[in-house]
Amino acid sequence: MEISACFAPWEAEEPPMSHFEYMGRCVALVILHKRVYDAHMSPAFFKTLLGRRVTLCDLRPVDADLYRSLCWMLENDITGVLDETFTVTEPVRGGGVRTVELCAGGEHIKVTQSNKRSYVDARVRYRLYGRVQRQTEAFRKGLNGIVPIGLLQDFTEQELSVLFCAAPNVDMKIWMTRTRYTGYTSTDLVIMWFWKCVNEWTDAQRAKLLLFVTGTPRVSVGEFQDELSRRGPNDFIIERAGNPWDLPTSHACASTLHLPPYPHYETLKKKLLYAVE
């Protein structure tokens, strides 16, 4: 079972809400009986499940393209550049599209330099919760019927992921074998520094790196083998990109880490840790 923050509402046959309620009950039973279920649940999904505010950072592993677009909007002056309103257009079942207002009267509110932060916040909330609100509430109902949501409020979303899926156990040999390089080779000093750094990290830190690059904190031998049959011979890409003073960036949709050519090991170690933490 693959669980994420995005249940596509435009699919040809949308599952009935009872299916999502049933999924919530299954998760509750896993927690109640202290079992581990081999599934990944997005931290953003846990946040919405617990009624917590989602942020732009939560969007990155779910929709990397939208994340980059919204980051660009925040980092640049959009005056005279964008012609947007507080709406979003998305496909619907059976073909066609629909326009959804991100706030009351959003169709008549222009996105400007002064209100772009509000627009970004509204886009993030809709992408991670608004468009799947019914499904999320059904899931919460099923979970709450067995394990009261209030009992989970003291946990962070990362802790809940461990509670449900257990701590990730990353097989470094498999990870290194299934890595491809663009602009680097496996013998380049930066790459050797990278693996030295990752080997020194804890499993929790490695999980954060995997989440940063691939959108999932779990990479086991079985999962790699499953992915190989679907996606080809490689599942993790390290690409040479950026300047030595830049932080590493990622493209989660392509499982790609953009790693600058750092001149020293300590520089790589510091910037990589800062990027994933």
What amino acid positions are annotated as catalytic residues? Answer: 253
Helix (H) or strand (E) holding 172: helix 172-177
- Residue 259, burial from CB neighbour count under 10 angstroms (0-12, 13-18, 19+): buried
What CA–CA distance (Å, rounded) separates 68 from 27?
A: 32
Across the chain, the runs of DSSP E, i.e. the strands, are 87-91, 97-101, 179-182, 236-240, 249-251, 256-259
Token pair belonging to 193: 């520094």
Q: What sign does the dihedral 48-54-56-58 (CA atoms) show?
A: negative
The one-letter amino acid at 80: G
Token pair belonging to 17: 């809400």
What CA–CA distance (Å, rounded) separates 123 from 117?
A: 10
Long-range contacts of 31-35 (CB under 8 A, 24+ apart): 31/147, 31/163, 31/164, 32/146, 32/147
The one-letter amino acid at 141: K
